[in-house]
Amino acid sequence: MSTDDSQDGENRFRRSPTGPAVAPPRIPPGRAPTPPVQLPWHKRHFWTVVIFILLVAGVAIRAYRDLSQPEAWDYWKDQYVSPGLTSQVIDTLHLDGSSRGRRALFISGTIGPAAANWFRGSLDQANLAAGDIVLLASPGGDLNQAAIMGEIIRSRSLATAVGSADASGRVKPGYCASACVLVYAGGKARFGVLGSALGVHRFVTTRPVDDPVAEAQRVSGAVLGYMTKMGVSSSIVEAMSETREIRWLSPKQALAMNLVTEPLGKP
């Protein structure tokens, strides 16, 4: 590089519009730049292992805190270990004894704390279409999960019925009680199978609360809002509030409450 080029370069550096003129760093002749200091390999490996152990320990502690809660363990058990519900796809379900049938998913068992997520997956696998049937047989279970299941049924425009089915697809009477009634109420059409029973009762919380009366009122309000949304008469909440024991609705009562919308036998 010529002297002129060097001077031009320095002048260009000094004329930088972004700040004051600063001379570029210079390395004395014959002196090599000092290499960066590096830790020995075994020390670098040691600190990598330490950081990894700390990260794993943090995740393990958080997981332990989560799973140490009874409700968390109940959820994981219901989701992955032993679900309270079982399902069976019925290719052709004959509701009224006629030759015309519909595809159905038979759900039976207790509604657990992870039931809604499990139910959504079962519906996806069953590949039901709008108008197909969810056949229910359950003593009830988790109220919140039941309401979510009912919302899923309504969002897919599915129908509901109570009972079970034999090998030929003929419906046999069954029962749906407590929280199961909320799942049943999610049906866009709700078939009343002759001989099947719907049972309701007052819902109570099993967890400790500061004000049990206020909590009971909150639950009743939530159930009333849900049932009204599904097109069921508010009189069903009155029937629920009358007793903590199961009250079995007669076919006429279920029809008058609009809980059953499609009776398959004379009520």
CATH number for 109? 3.90.226.10
H or E element at residue 192: strand 191-192
pLDDT of residue 45: 67
Which ranges of the chain does DSSP label H, i.e. alpha helix?
A: 3-14, 41-67, 70-76, 115-126, 143-155, 180-185, 212-229, 235-241, 251-256
Tell me how many domains the chain contains.
1
Confidence of residue 3 (pLDDT cuts 50, 70, 90): very low
Q: How many angstroms separate the Cα of 114 from the Cα of each of 20, 78, 127, 156?
A: 66, 6, 21, 20
Residue 115, pLDDT above cutoff 50: yes
Comparing CA positions, the residue from 140, 69, 135, 144 lying closest to residue 104 is 135
Does residue 206 belong to any structural domain of this protein?
A: no
Question: Mean pLDDT, to the nearest integer, of 187-213?
Answer: 85
Does residue 119 belong to any structural domain of this protein?
A: yes
The residues near 107 (Cβ < 8 Å, ≥ 6 apart) are 85, 86, 87, 119, 122, 134, 135, 136, 137, 138, 183
Confidence of residue 14 (pLDDT cuts 50, 70, 90): very low
Residue 7, pLDDT above cutoff 60: no
What is the rounded distance in angstroms from the CA atom of residue 85 to the CA atom of residue 103? 19
Expressed as residue numbers, the domain containing 142 is: 72-200+247-263
Residue 50, pLDDT above cutoff 90: no
Pair of tokens at residue 173: 């009477």
The residues near 168 (Cβ < 8 Å, ≥ 6 apart) are 94
pLDDT digits (tens, 9 = 90+) for 175-195: 999 999 999 999 999 999 999
Comparing CA positions, the residue from 118, 125, 181 lying closest to residue 150 is 181
Question: Mean pLDDT, to the nearest integer, of 201-225?
Answer: 81
Does residue 114 belong to any structural domain of this protein?
A: yes
pLDDT of residue 216: 79
pLDDT digits (tens, 9 = 90+) for 59-114: 555 655 555 555 666 766 776 778 899 999 999 998 876 556 889 999 999 999 99
Mean pLDDT of the chain: 82
Does residue 194 belong to any structural domain of this protein?
A: yes
pLDDT of residue 6: 47
3-state SS, 143-186, equals: HHHHHHHHHHHHHCCCEEEECEECCCCEEECCEEECCHHHHHHC
Does residue 40 belong to any structural domain of this protein?
A: no
Does residue 150 belong to any structural domain of this protein?
A: yes
Does residue 109 belong to any structural domain of this protein?
A: yes
Q: Quick check: 162 and 197 in contact, CB under 8 A?
A: yes
Neighbours of 127 (CB within 10 A): 10
What is the rounded distance in angstroms from the CA atom of residue 172 to the CA atom of residue 194? 9
Does residue 27 belong to any structural domain of this protein?
A: no
Phi and psi at 176, nearest 5°, equal -140, 115
The residues near 203 (Cβ < 8 Å, ≥ 6 apart) are 143, 178, 179, 219, 220, 223, 240
